[in-house]
């Protein structure tokens, strides 16, 4: 029939442009997704925070110098110590805290044992008690929500008398959407341990 050869060619052309358009849309959508995830604001610290144990909270000393803040407690040798901070997710994506990021400091003071990190398993609210709540990892923080993040350690050895070691930022491994990234979170003050008179000098074998 006259013109019958044009129909298959038109269908092939239509399929080609349909597939090409779908590929372009997929690439554009993935590029948007990747850019949106990468540009999502990191978790921030703000709100309620404090030393975990009452004996530390009662002995903390808060100082300010050169625009910086520091909260310091004495090292309690061979005892458990720690603090908690409120972390906020101000992005449009759920952010899941997986643990410490690569190259994160592993100690608070130079001679304290390895830090242990965990996150409150449910949303921050002022009615709850952060000291009695359940903490775990990994923990997801939906957009616009907050959690408490807890750092704990055993002070198995200590700074020299008068010496101070502290931590003023956290490096966390966080999953945002389908991707995992490292986030550096400013604590806005230094959490520090101070050597005490009854702290024996460190002996090395």
Residue 52 has pLDDT above 60, yes or no: yes
What pLDDT is recorded for position 85?
93
Q: Verify that 10 and 96 share a domain, yes or no.
A: no
Identify whether the C-beta of residue 199 lies closer than 8 Å to the C-beta of residue 159.
Answer: yes
- Whole-model pTM? 0.76
Q: Verify that 70 and 156 share a domain, yes or no.
A: yes
Q: How confident is the model over 183-197, as a mean pLDDT?
A: 86
Q: Which of 28-42, 126-140, 153-167, 176-190 has the highest mean pLDDT?
A: 176-190
Is residue 109 one of the residues assigned to a domain? yes
Q: Verify that 49 and 33 share a domain, yes or no.
A: no
Q: How confident is the model over 147-176, as a mean pLDDT?
A: 82
Residue 14: give the domain boundaries. 1-39
Is residue 57 one of the residues assigned to a domain? yes
Beta bridge partners of 139: 97
Q: Verify that 51 and 17 share a domain, yes or no.
A: no
Q: How confident is the model over 91-105, as a mean pLDDT?
A: 88
Q: Verify that 133 and 155 share a domain, yes or no.
A: yes
What pLDDT digit, counting tens, does each position of 102-154 carry? 877 666 765 566 788 899 888 766 556 777 788 999 999 999 999 999 999 88
**Looking at the 3D structure of the chain, how many domains does it have?**
2
Instruction: Provide the CATH number for the domain around residue 48.
Output: 2.60.40.10
Q: How confident is the model over 63-70, as a mean pLDDT?
A: 80
Closest CA to 163 of 200, 193, 198: 193
Q: Verify that 12 and 80 share a domain, yes or no.
A: no
Q: How confident is the model over 54-71, as a mean pLDDT?
A: 87
Q: Verify that 170 and 159 share a domain, yes or no.
A: yes
Q: Please work out, in degrees rounded to the nearest 5, the angle formed at the alpha carbon of residue 99 by the alpha carbons of 31 and 67.
A: 90
Is residue 120 one of the residues assigned to a domain? yes
- Comparison of pLDDT for 190 and 12, the residue scoring more: 190
Q: Verify that 142 and 80 share a domain, yes or no.
A: yes
CB atoms inside a 10 Å sphere around CB 151: 20
Q: Verify that 123 and 141 share a domain, yes or no.
A: yes
Q: Verify that 52 and 28 share a domain, yes or no.
A: no
Q: How confident is the model over 92-107, as a mean pLDDT?
A: 85
Q: Verify that 174 and 147 share a domain, yes or no.
A: yes
């Amino acid at each position: 029939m006259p013109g019958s050869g044009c129909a298959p060619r038109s269908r092939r052309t239509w399929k080609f442009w349909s597939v090409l358009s779908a590929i372009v849309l997929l690439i554009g959508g993935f590029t948007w997704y990747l850019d949106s995830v990468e540009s999502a604001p990191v978790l921030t610290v703000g709100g309620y925070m404090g030393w975990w144990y009452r004996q530390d909270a009662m002995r903390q000393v808060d100082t300010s110098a050169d625009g910086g803040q520091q909260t310091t407690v004495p090292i309690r040798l061979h005892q458990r110590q720690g603090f908690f901070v409120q972390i906020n997710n101000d992005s449009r994506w759920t952010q899941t805290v997986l643990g410490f990021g690569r190259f994160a400091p592993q100690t608070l003071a130079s001679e304290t044992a390895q830090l242990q990190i965990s996150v409150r398993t449910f949303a921050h609210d002022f009615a709850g008690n952060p000291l009695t709540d359940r903490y775990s990892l990994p923990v997801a923080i939906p957009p616009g929500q907050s959690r408490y993040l807890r750092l704990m350690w055993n002070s198995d050895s200590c700074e020299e008398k008068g010496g101070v070691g502290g931590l003023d930022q956290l490096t966390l491994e966080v999953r945002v959407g389908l991707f995992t990234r490292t986030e550096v979170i400013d604590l806005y003050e230094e959490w520090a341990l101070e050597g005490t008179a009854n702290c024996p000098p460190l002996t090395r074998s």
